[in-house]
Amino acid sequence: MRSFFRNAFQANQPECCDLFGSLKKSLINDVWIALIILAPFGTFAGVCRALQTGVTYTLVIQSLLIVAIVGFFFVRNNFTVPTQAIVAIACLFAIGTPALFQFGFYSASFLWFFFATLIVAYCFPKHLVYSVLATSAMVLFAGYLFVSGRQTLPVDANVLIHQLEGWGAAIFAILLFGMLMIKAISAYNARFHALNIKLAEQKQQIEKLANHDQLTGLPNKRLAIDRLKTAIELAKREQHKVALLYIDLDDFKPVNDRLGHDAGDWVLKTVAQRLSTTIRKSDSVCRVGGDEFIAILPAIKSAAVMQQVCEKLIAAVAEDIEFNGHRIHIGVSIGVSIYPTMSDCEATLQQIADQAMYHAKQRGKNQFAFAQDVAFA
């Protein structure tokens, strides 16, 4: 059973990868929509600047890039998502690079580098440091060229500063693209968060199925053993006792034979509910198979208390169960072992509790028996 649920979880991993891949696909699609919206405004900004500076190689390169962006936009679905992301990143770097080396900080080129690096962070996080280093190196190198006099502005700086039309168009284009990028990333983050919640719920459900009985909802034997070990470890530290009860239903097989498996399932669910509500919230009832249950009771105080618990459990199970007009009467036999009075070994506690349960069953229905007739210290 454990391997079944593990295999089921592993089988879902390719599906999870597909879901995360679809998120990146949606993000890159939004980026390309932002680029195609940017194209006409970028063209207008370039023309406005060209009226003052004349035709520059920056304008020529950016014009060719706009044509390339429009062309790639319509055929982008023929390429993989990583390829689309790389082309988008390259376009943004290519928009900013010529402006940086021709106009220096009188251009807004570093903002295009920022947008490109942002896409790298979401699509290729392992390569983010390389993107940051490359961007920093380009900016520093361009600064060195201008400071050293190896590169000069194509026109007087005052002309660039007071070119209101060019700056206005450029700022509008950058703000528009920035808003579209914020929208795309916000949508990605929202979808990513929703997907994580969905996957966490699926994982929790798989773990629940792996650790709980599907019919009764009680912990199964695997979880029961873990809880017993935990209870014993806690008892060692706090110097108290733990009771382990092996519980087996009496006359359960005739119910299945006479009324069918639906009746048997109803009896098991009813018994599970009665056992759970009879013990304390700090105690655990688990179904270990068929008509067998175990109960783990930490911090027990006396033999008299344990006897009362067993009597309450027997009385609760003994009440008639209604099913489709039939009254079903079920008995229960209980075997009790105590840590550390009867054993300090978890496996031994299970063994002697099981033996005590069979001893109780041999004495008649609705009986309980302690593994050893040892008084509590």
CATH code of 345's domain: 3.30.70.270
197 lies in the same domain as 231: no
Q: 107 and 58, same structural domain?
A: yes
Residue 376 in domain: no
- Judgement on whether residues 202 and 273 belong to the same structural domain of the protein: no
- The residues assigned a catalytic role are 291
End-of-domain residue from the set 206, 240, 275: 206
Beta-strand (E) ranges in 140-264?
Answer: 241-250
Same domain, yes or no: 243 and 341: yes
Number of domains present in the structure of the chain? 2
Q: 57 φ, ψ to 5°?
A: -65, -25
Are 230 and 326 in the same domain?
Answer: yes
Of 206, 230, 262, the one marking the end of a domain is 206
In-domain check, residue 214: no
Q: Kindly state whether residues 18 and 112 are assigned to the same domain.
A: yes
pLDDT given for residue 43 in this prediction: 79
Residue 132 has pLDDT above 60, yes or no: yes
- Paired tokens of 327: 């009254």
Whether residues 199 and 333 share a domain: the answer is no
- Report whether pLDDT(304) > 50: yes
Task: Point out the domain boundary residue: 206, 241, 271.
Answer: 206
Question: Please, how many CA atoms are within 13 Å of residue 302, restricted to the half-sphere of its CB?
Answer: 3
Structural domain harbouring 303:
221-370
The answer as to whether 212 is a domain residue is no
pLDDT category at 17 given cuts 50, 70, 90 is low
- Whether 74 has a pLDDT exceeding 60, the answer reads yes
What values do phi and psi take at 242, rounded to 5? -125, 135
**Alpha-carbon gap, residue 224 to 295, rounded angstroms:** 9
Share of the chain above pLDDT 90, in %: 33
pLDDT of 63 strictly over 90? no
pLDDT in tens, 242-255: 999 999 999 888 88
Sign of CA dihedral 173, 176, 178, 180: negative
Tokens encoding 138? 């380009």
Q: Is residue 213 part of a domain?
A: no
- What mean pLDDT comes out for the span 117-146? 90
The pLDDT, as a whole number, for residue 166 is 64
Per residue in 135-177, pLDDT (tens digit) is 899 889 988 888 888 887 776 666 666 666 667 777 888 888 8
